[in-house]
């Protein structure tokens, strides 16, 4: 028989009589689906796309523990600051990739004394003028660390045990002539020494003299000049300090009347 439009009413349809083949495509609209009627088993795998998820709808309670893998993350991850809750579970050492913590990830003043390994701050890590007076312990700067002593004095005196005279009469000419580089102390006084401490013993008649110069005699003050005085003659033993040339060679002059002479190196200044 033929049916008129809208003639079939709900009461005329048997229970379960409307099968899938009787429902046209795209015929079931939102208002035809009861609230909560679409269950998990009715969703095809991969059917829920990003556009179908409401912004802010996926909360922490909806994500199972350890279900978000690294390939699901967009790197780098920006963590809001400050973090108001602890990270659970905590990130352990084995989970941090070698070289992953770069300078930008370290907070200002985050590295404390106990985070620095002993003896690991080298000279190249110190900025120029970084070590101030207050950072140096009292008594920590020894004479060996000084290039000079305030007031213009030389740095450090190195005494020498003198057992015998280093130079005697046989090492000199008694002719009243200045002998350039005639007194060679380079085998005794080390290179780099600033000045030499000499012990000189001279004897002879009055007015005779024994003279030692450094710097080729150009600096008359950088010398020792001893004149024998008194009617009886004889000068005795004297000490003097003469600044060195780099080669530790000295000039000397002895007048012909000198009776005897001996020179010993007592020490030097570095």
pLDDT per residue as tens digits for the range 96-120? 888 778 888 888 888 888 888 887 8
In a domain, 170, yes or no: yes
- Greatest mean pLDDT among 20-24, 54-58, 163-167, 211-215: 163-167
Question: pLDDT: is 94 or 191 the higher one?
Answer: 191
Encode pLDDT of 206-253 as tens digits: 888 889 988 655 666 788 888 877 545 566 788 999 988 889 999 999
Residue 174 lies in a domain: yes
Which residues are registered as beta bridge partners of 20? Answer: none
205 SS3 class: coil
pLDDT reading at 149 higher than 60: no
Spatial distance between the Cα atoms of 185 and 45, rounded to a whole number of angstroms: 98
Q: Round the CA-based radius of gyration of the chain to a whole number and report it.
A: 51
> 132 in a domain, yes or no?
no
Q: CATH number of the domain that 171 lies in?
A: 2.60.120
Instruction: End-to-end CA distance of the chain: give it in Å, rounded.
Output: 130
Domains identified in the chain, total number = 1
pLDDT at 202 over 70: yes
Confidence at 184, pLDDT banded by 50, 70, 90: very high
How many other CB atoms are there within 10 angstroms of residue 67's CB atom? 7
> In which band, very low, low, confident or very high, does the pLDDT at 36 lie, cut at 50, 70 and 90?
confident
| Spatial distance between the Cα atoms of 203 and 233, rounded to a whole number of angstroms | 7
217 part of a folded domain: yes
Q: Is the pLDDT of residue 45 over 90?
A: no
Confidence at 169, pLDDT banded by 50, 70, 90: very high
Asked whether residue 231 is domain-assigned, the answer is yes
Q: Residue 129 and residue 167: Cα distance in Å, rounded?
A: 48
Please tell me whether residue 149 adopts helix, strand or coil conformation: strand
**% helix / strand / coil in the chain, to the nearest 5?**
15, 20, 65
Residue 154 pLDDT > 50: no
Query: Is 13 a domain residue?
Result: no
- Percent of the chain clearing pLDDT 70 (strictly above): 81
- By the 8 A CB rule, do 145 and 239 touch? no
Count, residues in the chain: 270
Q: How far is CA 246 from CA 138, 198, 243, in A?
A: 35, 17, 10
Which domain covers residue 171, as residue numbers? 159-269
**Residue 94 in domain:** no
DSSP secondary structure of 244-262: PPTT-EEEEEE-TT--EEE
Q: What is the pLDDT of residue 263?
A: 95
pLDDT grade, residue 140 (50/70/90)? low
Residue 53 falls inside a structural domain: no
């Amino acid at each position: 028989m033929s049916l008129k439009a809208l003639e079939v009413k709900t009461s005329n349809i048997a229970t379960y009589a409307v099968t899938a083949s009787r429902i046209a495509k795209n015929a079931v609209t939102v208002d035809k689906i009861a609230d909560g009627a679409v269950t998990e088993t009715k969703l095809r795998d991969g059917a829920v796309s990003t556009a179908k998820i409401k912004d802010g709808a996926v909360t922490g309670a909806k994500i199972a523990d350890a279900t978000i893998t690294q390939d699901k993350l967009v790197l780098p991850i920006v963590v809001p600051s400050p973090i108001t809750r602890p990270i659970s579970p905590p990130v352990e050492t084995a989970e941090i990739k070698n070289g992953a913590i770069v300078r930008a990830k370290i907070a200002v003043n985050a590295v404390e004394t106990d985070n620095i390994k002993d003896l690991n701050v080298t000279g190249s890590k110190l900025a120029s003028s970084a070590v101030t007076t207050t950072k140096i312990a009292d008594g920590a700067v020894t004479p060996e660390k000084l290039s000079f002593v305030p007031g213009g004095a030389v740095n450090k005196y190195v005494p020498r045990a003198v057992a015998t005279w280093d130079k005697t009469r046989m090492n000199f000419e008694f002719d009243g002539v200045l002998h350039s580089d005639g007194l060679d102390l380079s085998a005794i006084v080390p290179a780099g020494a600033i000045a030499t401490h000499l012990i000189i013993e001279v004897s002879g008649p009055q007015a005779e003299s024994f003279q030692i110069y450094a710097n080729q005699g150009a600096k008359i003050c950088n010398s020792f000049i001893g004149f024998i005085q008194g009617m009886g003659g004889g000068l005795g033993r004297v000490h003097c300090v003469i600044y060195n040339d780099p080669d530790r060679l000295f000039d000397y002059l002895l007048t012909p009347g000198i009776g005897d002479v001996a020179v010993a190196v007592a020490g030097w200044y570095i």
